[in-house]
Chain A
Amino acid sequence: MEWLKTLISRPSKGVSGKTGYWRTFKPIYDRDKCVLCYECYVYCPENCVEIVEKVVKIDYDFCKGCGICSEVCPANAIEMVKED
């Protein structure tokens, strides 16, 4: 079953370099509004949302600023803010 290693791949950080610098808008998280529904965690296409001790952590080294987390958040706890 050698094929299995070709078919499936596990995410690893930075295989294509840091992609965070592509970002135009940055997701800013507000813990007070967050209802811990995990939607941002599930939907982030880059797998750069982690939830650590009931707090959303966004890995800005790899977040490209697509805004999906903000879009799916039912509590408006993630705001997209233009980068400086």
Chain B
Amino acid sequence: MKTILTGNHAVAYAVKLSRVKVVSAYPITPQTTIVEKIAEMIAKGEMDAEFVNVESEHSALSVVYGSALAGLRSFTATSSHGLLYMYEMCWWVSNSRLPLVMAVVTRTIGPPWNIHTDHTDLMTLRDSGWIIAMAENAQEALDLTIQSFKISESLNLPFAVGLDAFVVSHTAEVVDVPDQETVDEFLPERKQAYRVDPNDVFAVGNIADNLETMRMRREMALDMEKAKGVIDEVGREFGEIFGRRYGLVEEYMVDDAEYIVVMTGAWSGDAKEAVDILRKRGIQIGLLKLRYIRPFPREVIERFDDRKILVVDRSFSMGHRGTLGIEVGNVVDCKNVVAGLCGVDVGFEDFKEMFERFVRGELGEVEWWI
């Protein structure tokens, strides 16, 4: 059914359709309306789940750590400082190999206080063993959330669904909301490697042998590599059922492109408009949108090593470069523009100018778009 939804409400409906049983969260702008909507659906009896109010994000993730450990499909959502406050638990969840899903509505980390989009918060999960996806719009936020449970549960790895503050989270758009029967057909009952059982007592995360622990990390790394195939397979299956195909990346006019822009998130839509304008002038430019940051679509990027590549970053690693600039630059040569940090608005006209300068060879290694 096509309806009008904000990105946050699209996530909330996806959580309901995924038959999540436990939700725990602490309010933080711009994430709050996700869990507000979920709480409302539970209160009205439209959603059969337990909502646990907590005093902090550390507790929110701890609660769903427990419920996921007990075998229930679980969800939480946060942003920026909330994510940092639960950071320790993020690693407990991934290192315990627990499948669960968290929406991260990307927001600037203060000070100074700022509620607008910036991807640096989400990028702090990069090394932790979470699968990290980034939605471009409300439809993708809904679709990725439904897929996230299937992907997370088949790999025993937690999944973060990123969406930009306000640009996606609070902007109402037309969203195709699938019906429950079709989602049930796509998304099977929860499965996981192990679960706590009061009749079969064991401890999780006790002191273990160093070498065995390192072996465990290697298995996790291999499963992350395996995740690439699972993501593409689940995205293809989703496409067959719902008519919208997903995968590690979205390729926009890249096949014959001499110039390729790599970016992630909501502003990819604006960048596509700029690509269209330059294409009309005969400039062979395309856009490679990273839907996933982890696992990193390295093999896809390697395919384009004979093109001129520009990475546009909405996150920065202090002392180095834009975060994606580092990541992509580790695979192919690229220029890096750092833009839109701290919620600075970047529209298609900025992209048009940026891409023109890129094509003319005027961009330095790292440019701040200010």
Instruction: Please give the residue numbers on chain A whose beta carbons come within 8 Å of chain B beta carbons, in ascending order.
Output: 1-11, 47
Tell me whether B220 and A7 are in contact (CB under 8 A).
no
The stretch of B12-20, B205-213, B251-259, B327-335 in contact with A is: B205-213
Tell me whether B216 and A9 are in contact (CB under 8 A).
no
- The count of chain B contact residues (Cβ–Cβ below 8 Å) is 19
Tell me whether A8 and B204 are in contact (CB under 8 A).
yes
Interface string of B194-231 (1 = CB under 8 A from A): 10000001111110110011011001100000000000
B193 at interface (Cβ–Cβ under 8 A)? Answer: yes
Shortest Cβ distance from B96 into A: residue: A7
Tell me whether A3 and B215 are in contact (CB under 8 A).
yes
Q: A3-B216, A10-B203 are in contact. List 16 more A-B contacts (CB 8 A).
A: A1-B156, A1-B193, A3-B215, A4-B97, A4-B194, A5-B212, A6-B212, A7-B97, A8-B203, A8-B204, A9-B202, A9-B203, A10-B202, A11-B202, A11-B203, A47-B201
Tell me whether A2 and B219 are in contact (CB under 8 A).
yes
Tell me whether B201 and A10 are in contact (CB under 8 A).
yes
Q: Can you identify 11 A-B contacts, CB atoms within 8 angstroms?
A: A2-B215, A3-B215, A4-B97, A5-B212, A6-B212, A7-B97, A7-B216, A8-B204, A9-B202, A9-B206, A11-B201
State in angstroms the CA–CA spacing of A7 and B207 once bound together.
Answer: 9
Q: A11-B202, A11-B203, A47-B201 are in contact. Are A4 and B213 (CB under 8 A)?
A: no
Q: How far is the CB of A46 from chain B (nearest CB, A)?
A: 12
Contacts of A10 in B (CB 8 A): 201-203
Tell me whether A3 and B204 are in contact (CB under 8 A).
no
Shortest Cβ distance from A10 into B: residue: B202
Contacts of B213 in A (CB 8 A): 6
Tell me whether A6 and B216 are in contact (CB under 8 A).
yes
- In the A-B complex, the 5 residue pairs with the closest CB atoms: A3-B216, A6-B212, A9-B206, A3-B219, A10-B202
Interface string of B232-249 (1 = CB under 8 A from A): 000000000000000000
Q: How far is the CB of B54 from chain A (nearest CB, A)?
A: 22
Tell me whether B202 and A6 are in contact (CB under 8 A).
no
Q: How far is the CB of B18 from chain A (nearest CB, A)?
A: 24
Tell me whether B202 and A8 are in contact (CB under 8 A).
yes
Contacts of A5 in B (CB 8 A): 212
Tell me whether A8 and B216 are in contact (CB under 8 A).
no
Contacts of B219 in A (CB 8 A): 1-3
Pick from A1, A3, A4 the residue with the most CB of B within 10 Å: A3
Contacts of A4 in B (CB 8 A): 97, 193-194
Interface string of B146-173 (1 = CB under 8 A from A): 0000000000100000000000000000
Shortest Cβ distance from B209 into A: residue: A6
Residue in B156, B194, B209, B215 whose beta carbon sits within 8 Å of that of A8 in the complex: B194
Shortest Cβ distance from B220 into A: residue: A3
Contacts of A47 in B (CB 8 A): 201
State in angstroms the CA–CA spacing of A7 and B94 once bound together.
Answer: 12
Q: How far is the CB of A73 from chain B (nearest CB, A)?
A: 20
